[in-house]
Amino acid sequence: MSKIRTEKKSRQHNEIQKQGIKFNKVLGQHILKNPLVVTSMVDKAALRSSDVVLEVGPGTGNMTMKLLEKCKQVIACEVDTRLVAELQKRVQNSPLQSKLKIIIGDVLRKDLPFFDVCVANLPYQISSPFVFKLLLHRPFFRCAILMFQREFAQRLVAKPGDKLYCRLSVNTQLLSRVDIIMKVGKNNFRPPPKVESSVIRLEPINPPPMINYKEWDVMEMLRHNYEVHCSMKNINIDRNNNNGFNIKDKITAILTEIKFEMKRARSMDIDEFLLLLCTFNKHDLHFS
């Protein structure tokens, strides 16, 4: 058995050497090598011939080639110029070359272009900021098929009371419909990551809830942000129950008014968070 494993690793190493590429784990480079998983992700995107697809983290182009066959254009965002060169070689002098546009750089620092569908096998360390960059992107896209670390994907779909339910769960589900559609084992990547993965389908809610998202997102920093607000408006805040306005008393009164004094964030659903935000605003308790 040991000999078989050694031979398998040797074949993988030789394949990488033939391509002249040594993958950078610091950049989170784990190339999806299983063609069945690649095909399944492309199929789940339900592409139309008129679609513009944003692909983040195309790597050596295994999924890119499948996408190019099915859509009008692929805009591939890649930070590693070595992989960009590999991708360009794969389409060079082919009918697919004119359908591929490459953006070189960090996707978090780039303005996203117009696209209909996003497909991404991106570095897991940028999962959270990329999700929110997508959710706040305008104009709206139709859907996204995204590969994530399995626990991160589970957080996205967690429900109130679940162990993994958190701010990420609430914010994602406020702005989108999200489902886990596929589990992907670590051996489907080259080199294999240390964690298991899952693919999710994310569909933005259009139109989105009519709220100030900046206010919504900072509710957990309510006290700090309200004190900043009062400072800017020259409102005296009483921190010692002596004179002026006491922020703790006001929040307690609001929670009591809507019978939330015994509620805990981990068990609250989105409607309850929205009610809380509306009640804060009704009492002129702003924090953006």
Here the CATH number for the domain that contains residue 93 is 3.40.50.150
Q: Rounded to 5 degrees, what are φ and ψ at 179? A: -140, 145
Phi-psi region of 101 (alpha: psi -120 to 50; beta: other; left: phi over 0): beta
Q: Are strands 143-149 and 117-120 parallel, antiparallel or unpaired?
A: parallel
Among residues 74, 106, 72, 109, which one has the least CA distance to residue 88? Answer: 74
Residue type for position 116: D
73 and 169 both lie in a single domain: yes
Please state the domain count of the chain: 2
158 and 193 both lie in a single domain: yes
In a domain, 58, yes or no: yes
Task: Out of 204, 227, 249, pick the residue that ends a domain.
Answer: 204
140 and 272 both lie in a single domain: no
176 and 149 both lie in a single domain: yes
C-alpha 255/C-alpha 262 separation (Å) is 9
Among residues 114, 112, 113, 66, which one has the least CA distance to residue 90? Answer: 66
In a domain, 14, yes or no: no
133 and 189 both lie in a single domain: yes
pLDDT tens for each residue of the chain, 288 residues long: 444 544 444 444 444 444 456 655 555 567 899 999 999 999 999 999 999 999 999 999 999 999 999 999 999 999 999 999 999 999 999 999 999 999 999 999 999 999 999 999 988 999 999 999 999 999 999 999 999 999 999 999 999 999 999 989 999 999 999 999 999 999 999 889 899 999 999 999 999 988 887 778 766 555 556 666 666 667 666 555 544 456 677 778 888 999 988 888 889 999 999 998 888 888 776 555
Residue 23 contacts residue 16 (beta carbons within 8 Å)? yes
In a domain, 18, yes or no: no
220 and 278 both lie in a single domain: yes
192 and 227 both lie in a single domain: no
Residue 9 is predicted with a pLDDT of 43
C-alpha 108/C-alpha 42 separation (Å) is 23
Residue 251 contacts residue 225 (beta carbons within 8 Å)? no
| Domain encompassing residue 39 | 25-204
β-sheet bridge partners, residue 189: 32
265 and 248 both lie in a single domain: yes
In a domain, 237, yes or no: yes
Residue 252 is predicted with a pLDDT of 84
Residue 255 is predicted with a pLDDT of 87
189 and 46 both lie in a single domain: yes
233 and 177 both lie in a single domain: no
Residue 46 neighbours by CB under 8 Å, 6+ apart? 143
In a domain, 151, yes or no: yes
H-state helical runs in 158-238: 167-175, 213-217, 222-232
73 and 182 both lie in a single domain: yes
In a domain, 238, yes or no: yes
Task: Out of 204, 232, 250, pick the residue that ends a domain.
Answer: 204
Q: Alpha carbon 121 to chain centroid distance?
A: 11
Q: Rounded to 5 degrees, what are φ and ψ at 30? A: -130, 100
Q: What is the dihedral of CA 160, 166, 170, 173, to 10 degrees?
A: -90
54 and 135 both lie in a single domain: yes
In a domain, 4, yes or no: no
H-state helical runs in 136-246: 150-157, 167-175, 213-217, 222-232
In a domain, 2, yes or no: no
